[in-house]
A = this chain, B = another copy of it.
Amino acid sequence: MSFFTLEGTSQNARAGTIKTAHGDIQTPIFMPVGTRGAIKTLETSHIESMKAQIILGNTYHLYLRPGHELIEKVGGGLHGFMDWSGPILTDSGGFQVFSLSDLNKVTEEGVKFKSHIDGSYHMFTPEKSMEIQKALGSDIVMVFDECPALPATKEALHKSMELTVRWAKRCKDYELKPHQNLFGIVQGGLHQDIRMECLERLEELDFPGLALGGLSVGEKNEEMVEFLNDFTPKMPAHKPRYLMGVGKPLDILNGIRAGIDMFDCVLPSRNARNGQVFTFDGPMNIKNERYKEDPKGIDPELNCPLTKRYSRAYLRHLFNVGEYTAGLLMTYHNLYFFIELTRRAREAILEGKFDVFYESFYKRYTANQIS
């Protein structure tokens, strides 16, 4: 039984199944982010009822608080700690030590960084990242990669890519738990040649899955789409492809069109807490005066099991008076929307009609800027 089975394609778009010890994941899939052992505002019953197939945990945050040893001791890992029985993917902590910490110092050995919580110093190496992710017990483990500061020269990006590959090898040499699957991360900015070199060198290590890192980090959206359309089809077809930290609904559909299988992003949950909810008619800002007396649900087409019973007027009220309940309901709604979006995309791919689905979604989503 292989880790990834490709079940259908529609031009470059793919539908498949990833098998893990904690269950199957039908791709393409959006993965909600549970940074510190919970998806913000929600609890595990919500993750179950929204039919999330896999969630993310953050190595950096969980290492600092409550600590991976505690999670392993109390819960036997993150699954038990948060009582989530489905698949979990953990990032390597790399992105956070580069972006969240005031100060960090990169050497061949790893990254020394300052905690954003108490200013204490810590060192992440490829081995340390593996040790933490092993304790967390995630089903998909990410290699510890360097995320270079942008903009960067081509030379700097190439040098960074080489370090990422050397670190990937050290991660590969670390013994994880038998159920864990280690993914490589392809870096190289928008340079096809650096990315291709990175891919080839990672392929020598033969990871069961591959991610694209360093995208949606400041480049123009068209540049990212163009890059994905060129590069993604060249990635090995028999391995799942994960586009890290992307993105908005149209970014996700563009990724799927290019051949990406897995997505994660804090955007749906973060924006929910700021009042932005996603619908098939485009994003809407629930704070808008126009929803003041609107008795309709947020998105009748979505039929979200948790939020369909509430009117826009009620949600707007909750948001405006600052009730936590607003964040809960809008977060759930947005994640349900993103998961449903990938589910519908999958259906269309299996019917060989992804382009029709894409055009139809795009047209409706952008027609009425209803917010």
Contact = CB atoms under 8 A, between A and B. Distances in A.
Nearest to A312: B74
A61 B65 CA distance: 38
Interface string A302-336: 00001001110110111011011101110000000
A99 interface: no
A318 B37 contact: yes
A83 interface: yes
Contacts of A36: 317-318, 321, 323
Contacts of A39: 325
A213 to B, nearest CB: 26
Contact of A42 (B45, B309, B320, B325): B325
Contact of A65 (B38, B313, B321): B321
Contacts of A219: none
A317 B75 contact: no
A363 interface: no
Given A313-B74, A314-B74, A323 B40 contact: yes
A306 B43 contact: yes
Most buried by B among A42, A43, A313, A318: A43
B81 A314 contact: yes
A293 B37 contact: no
A292 interface: yes
A65 B316 CA distance: 11
B83 A317 contact: no
A82 B39 CA distance: 24
A41 interface: yes
A292 B328 contact: no
Contact of A74 (B42, B295, B328): B295
B38 A323 contact: yes
Nearest to A332: B43
B74 A43 contact: no
A328 B321 contact: no
Nearest to A64: B321
B293 A73 contact: yes
A300 interface: no
A44 interface: yes
A70 interface: yes
Contact of A83 (B61, B66, B309, B325): B309
A293 B67 CA distance: 11
Contacts of A324: 40-41, 324, 327-328
A311 B81 contact: yes
Interface in A274-300: 292-295
A323 B65 CA distance: 12
A66 B325 contact: no
Nearest to A61: B321
Given A38-B323, A42-B325, A325-B38, A65 B317 contact: yes
Contacts of A75: 295, 311, 313-314
Nearest to A82: B314
Contacts of A317: 36-37, 65-66, 70, 81
Contacts of A74: 293-295, 311, 313-314
Q: List the 5 shortest-distance A-B pairs measured between CB atoms, nearest first.
A: A38-B325, A66-B317, A74-B313, A83-B309, A41-B324
25 contacts: A36-B318, A36-B321, A38-B323, A39-B325, A40-B324, A41-B324, A41-B325, A41-B328, A42-B325, A45-B306, A65-B317, A65-B320, A65-B321, A66-B292, A70-B313, A70-B317, A74-B293, A74-B295, A74-B314, A81-B311, A81-B314, A82-B310, A83-B309, A324-B324, A324-B328
